[in-house]
Structure 1
């Protein structure tokens, strides 16, 4: 097996007299280990998702769907590129904290805890954010970036 590295990196490795073969072997073993772990996780993941879905109370699913619909409409009609990029995690070192537009959307007097203790607010908010994110994922390639 042969590997290639950029000339600049090769020079830096030689400058420190690093054991290239051992380092590459270690890196490849780690990559194989991670791939094996990922394979274990992904095995039958659809069945796992379906089983988990069945454990969610109907009231939580309903609030998520309500939030999702609101997020889609907000993204289509009111959101800015900046807000959608922020929600999608495309702005380095920034985290969505919410703003007036999205906060107004998520203010629902019926959100909170249902009588059985299910957290409805987080399901609704997650729906809003995921709905808006999906609109952005579809619209992003169509947005003309002019400088």
Structure 2
């Protein structure tokens, strides 16, 4: 304790031990509350991350399903080949009229979210590729 503070405490005849004990108890209580809050926050963060994973997976699943639907019911043979055998660049959702896909998205119900664009697009191509792989030997 600084000398000046010690002099002020002695001059007022304050009980240093009990005051220090009370202050330390309060400090410990506050630290425990912060630890509990942080523990609770970690659980909240983990739960919220789980919802992000679920949301991401929803967009991946939807992308694949839309790729299959497009391949089965909308694509021409050359469009399907272009998307399925390309490196993914033949498909860019919402950009121009690449293989008629922009028009397809305008017609079908979907929850496309740019936040998951890459995952969605990759899954769309995967779905289209699955159909192409199943039918290309028949064409």
TM-score band, normalised by shorter chain: 0.3 to 0.5
Q: Give the TM-score normalised by structure 2.
A: 0.48
Between Structure 1 and Structure 2, the one with more helix by share is 2
Q: Give the TM-score normalised by structure 1.
A: 0.45
Q: Give the number of the structure whose alpha-carbon radius of gyration is greater.
A: 2
